[in-house]
Structures are given as structure tokens and as C-alpha cells.
Amino acid sequence: MEIRVVAGDITTFAGDGLVVNLFEAARGPAKGTPQGATAAVDAALGGALDRLIRAGEITGKWGEQTLIHALGRLRAERVLVLGLGKPEELTADRVRAAAAEAARTLRKSGARRIGTLVHGAGAAGLSAGQSAQAVVEGTLLGLYRFTRYKTNDDHAKVVERLTVVERDARRLGAVREAVWRGRILAEAAIAARDLVNEPGNTLTPTELARRARAMARAARVRCEVLGPPALRRLGAGGLLCVARGSQEPPRLIVLTYGGRGGGPHLGLVGKGVTFDSGGISIKPAENMEAMKGDMAGAAAAIAATCAIARLRLPIRVTAVVPATENLPSGTALKPGDILRAMSGKSIEVINTDAEGRLILADALTYARRRQVTHLVDAATLTGACVVALGTVNSGAFANNQTWLETVLAAGRAAGEKIWPMPMDAEYDELIKSDIAEIKNTGGRKGGAVTAAKFLQHFVGETPWVHLDIAGTSDSDKEKGYLTKGATGVMARTFVALAMDMAAKK
């Protein structure tokens, strides 16, 4: 999509649809009166908006949309009035969601060229730049569709151009920079969504590595792909053993951005199981098709690293993605087997469907060998986290409170909700093995926590946060800037985290 930023009078925009907004006033006869650029549009429409407000058909309540045909009074064919709710409750994430819903509504009406205000700038402390970035992120994310394997007439409706109109020419530079940044962030999440939505027969570990290399090349990021011989030399027993049941060879994908030297070195690790049947401990058939998305953490890490490079952030980043399938066969990993991870630690396998933590153990060890100073991993790791937090929040588990707070703040900036979970030492008792140093599952009780405690054995003293995205990596419906299917969760949070670290540096 082409995105333009212009300064001037919103009423002069020529296109198929124009998006303006209205706040919900608290009380009084002037409740919901159009202000600023919306008032100028209302005047051009002969007071039509004001009349609808007085009639109670437009209230400004959060989520409200009213589509009006301009009938030649404007150069835009349609005007969409967005309700932004109470000014004091406005957030950047609400702007994202409102922009997404507006874009979809106008696309359904056949609009190809959309103009928009910078919604809510100045309200609740939001700057014009923050609002402009949110508008672009929301629009691009809300219009996302995965159409590679399906064509129909509805997909012919495409928004080709978005024009962001800023009234104050003095803010034009800041708004343009924010729009550029918003586009890169949205495209990171979109790239992650594309990877997660691919079927398992297309996106094998080899194909994931090929796509990561292509994305890295475009972003000028170094990409290394390690196959079985190199993994054997490294002693990557976790990744190699999980891959034994598949005819597809495993891959360890390593992306590197930034030069040498001091300062923070961010390590991003993402679980890359391109299809997870559960292995010998096979999953129920119902909904198993969704297990093509068991590499959502990998998609976020790859997409985020490329976005960080596109933003030219002054920070070093190493992303490590262990990629494999988890399938049953005569050579597959079995319950009761003992393997030795890259770190040298022995692991008793209780359940082969607890494979994600086995491959992440090697990836975390490898990231530490690359001398990262801070670690964060994202993984669709446990159904237990879905039971605990549903599909609203990702779970966060950490060994360092300061680093946890930094990651939580990055999630808030991206609008991706994260909830901190306990990591009490008592949970370690549940994963002690009688015949190895550790076992890969502690049973049903506290399953999300014991999975994180398992991973903690492989991070040492490095500040680390584990993000369990099992409940948030996929959406079963269209809402706000989420569309049905993959969400691309944590791609934007990872970028926001790097932005924060670079700013502090």
C-alpha cells in the first residue's frame, strides 16, 4: 500500500473515503460537538454531522462508526466518523484498533483511496507522532489478509493508498518519521503472520530457513543456517532428538544485526516447530491442524530482527531459531529416553509433546555462547498458559525483575498484553528426575510455570524473560487490528524492546 503524509485542509482530500473522529463528551448541551478538522468537514457537509449528533445517531462512544456519503459536498465520496470514547481514556492502542476497524469498513464499501486525520493527537498525552504511528500500524494490520491459497471476488477489494493529513505543517517532519516507523512495525507483524499462516507442508524447517535468509538479505542482516552436521558438532541433543521422527532435517537459524563493541546485546529466541503432532505422545486429532502455528515465536524473532535493522537502531541483536517438525515414527524420540542438551545437561523425556522446551534449551545455550547480555524468548509452549490467561495475555516468566519490567513496558508500548507469572523455587521440585539431571515435564499442576523453570536451567545468570504465547499467537475472530488467524504477536514488542534499549544506550 502507498502511504502519503500531507499538510493542509482535510476537506480538500480527494478520494473514496475520509476518516474523521469524535470524542464522547461527559455532559452538557455541547455533548459530542465536532471539533478541529472534524468541524471543518461538518461545515462542508452543511452541518450534517452536528444534526446527527443532536439526534443521538452519533455519540462519539468508543468503537462507534457512522458512514456518510458526501454527495458532492466534499472531494471525498464518503466520510466515516469514528467514535473515540472519552478523551481521558484514549490510548495509542485504541487509536490502532479504531484505525483498523475504519479501514476494513471502507474497504468493504469499495474504497481504494483513504484519507485520515491523525486521531486523538493531543488527547491523554498522545503526541501527533504517536497517534500517526498508531494510525498506520492499525490500518495496515487491520487490512491484512492471507490470500495465497484462496481467491474470490471479495479479495478484489483492496485499499491502494492511505493519506495521512496533518493540519499543522510544523509537525509534518515528526509525523512523517512516525508514519515510517509505524509502517516498519506493522510490516514486521505482517511478515510474522504470513509465516505462521503457511501450512506445514509448505513451511518446513528448510523453507523457514530459506525465507529467513531472504528476509535477512533484504534487511541487510547476517543469516547463518546450521544443519545436522553442525548441530552434531555443537552437541545440540535437544533439537536433534526432537527432529528424529521427521524426514525433514532440523535447522538452527541465526540472525545477527549490529557491529561489535560494548553496550547491550539483545538475544531473541523463538520456538520454531513448523508442525507439532506431539510425536509418540500424539495429540488428539481435533484442532491438530492449528499446530502449523507452533513456530509463531520463531516468526516473531525473525521478523523483529529484520525490522530492527530497517529502523537502523544502534543496538546489537542476535536471533536464534531452532526449527524442526515433531512427528511420530520408528525413529522418533520416545517417552523414557534420555538426551543430552547442548549445555551438557541430561534430560529425561517424560512426554514427547513437551518438545518445545527441548529445542529452546539448545537455542538459549547457543544465544549465550554468542555473548548476549539480555535474553527474551517467545514460544507457543503450553496449553496450561492458555488455561491460566486465556487468549488476552501472554505469560511472562523471568529471572530478573528489572529486565521483566523492561519487557512488560515494551509490550504496553506495542499494545500486546503480557502478564507476569510466578517463578518460585518450589516449582523446581516438580521437574527433578530420578535418572537424569532434569525431566521435561512436571505434570499438569503449574504446567506453564514448570515449563519456564525447565528453560531457566539453560540461561544461567543472563537476564531472561520467557514469553508463553500459546494463547495469543492466533485469533479466532476479527477484532480491532487483529484478523482471524495468526496475530504476529511479539514481533512489535521485540522491536519496541530494542527501541527502548537503544534509547537508553
pLDDT per residue as tens digits for the range 424-440? 999 999 999 999 999 99
Looking up residue 45, the CATH number of its domain turns out to be 3.40.220.10
Active-site pick, 96, 211, 357, 368: 357
End position of a domain, from candidates 132, 151, 186: 186
- With 0-12 / 13-18 / 19 or more C-beta atoms within 10 angstroms meaning exposed / middle / buried, residue 307 is buried
Residue with cell 479479495: 155
70: number of Cβ within 10 Å = 18
Position 301 in a domain: yes
Position 156 in a domain: yes
Active-site pick, 61, 283, 412, 484: 283
The C-alpha angle with vertex 392 and arms to 391 and 397, in degrees rounded to 5, equals: 95
* Contact assessment for residue 82 and residue 94, using Cβ atoms and an 8 Å cutoff: no
Position 475 in a domain: yes
Q: What are the percentages of helix, strand and coil residues in the chain, rounded to 5?
A: 40, 20, 40
Distance CA 272, CA 320 (A): 10
Q: Are residues 141 and 22 in the same domain?
A: yes
Contacts for 286-290: CB closer than 8 Å, 24+ residues apart: 290/474
End position of a domain, from candidates 152, 186, 220: 186
Position 140 in a domain: yes
Q: Are residues 247 and 174 in the same domain?
A: no
Q: Are residues 477 and 429 in the same domain?
A: yes
Pairing outcome for strands 374-379 and 338-340: unpaired
DSSP at 15: B
Q: What are phi and psi of 121, to 5 degrees?
A: -60, 130
Q: Are residues 383 and 455 in the same domain?
A: yes
Looking up residue 250, the CATH number of its domain turns out to be 3.40.630.10
End position of a domain, from candidates 142, 164, 186: 186
Q: What are phi and psi of 17, to 5 degrees?
A: -155, 140
Torsion over CA: 85, 91, 95, 98 (sign):
negative
Distance CA 128, CA 150 (A): 38
Position 115 in a domain: yes
18-60 confidence digits (pLDDT tens): 999 999 975 444 456 788 899 999 999 999 999 999 999 999 9
Q: Is 283 a catalytic residue?
A: yes
Helix, strand, or coil here: 478? Answer: coil
Position 193 in a domain: no
Q: Are residues 110 and 136 in the same domain?
A: yes
Q: Are residues 347 and 399 in the same domain?
A: yes
Position 191 in a domain: no
Q: Are residues 473 and 493 in the same domain?
A: yes
83-115 confidence digits (pLDDT tens): 999 999 999 999 999 999 999 999 999 999 999
Residue type, 313: L
Q: Are residues 182 and 230 in the same domain?
A: no
Distance CA 355, CA 238 (A): 8
- pLDDT for 476 equals 96
Domain that holds residue 459: 198-504
Q: Are residues 409 and 270 in the same domain?
A: yes
Q: Which residues of the chain have pLDDT under 50?
A: 27-30
369-388 confidence digits (pLDDT tens): 999 999 999 999 999 999 99
Distance CA 339, CA 326 (A): 16
Q: Are residues 346 and 460 in the same domain?
A: yes
210: number of Cβ within 10 Å = 15
279-314 confidence digits (pLDDT tens): 999 999 999 999 999 999 999 999 999 999 999 999
Cell numbers given for 472: 495469543
Q: Are residues 319 and 256 in the same domain?
A: yes
Cell numbers given for 321: 531459531
Q: SS3 for 187-244, per residue?
A: HHHHHHHHHHHCCCCCCCHHHHHHHHHHHHHHHCCEEEEECHHHHHHHCCHHHHHHHC
Q: Strands of 313-373 (E only): list them.
A: 316-326, 338-340, 346-348
As for how many domains the chain has, the answer is 2
Q: Are residues 211 and 102 in the same domain?
A: no
Position 369 in a domain: yes
* Contact assessment for residue 238 and residue 273, using Cβ atoms and an 8 Å cutoff: no
Q: What are phi and psi of 214, to 5 degrees?
A: -65, -45
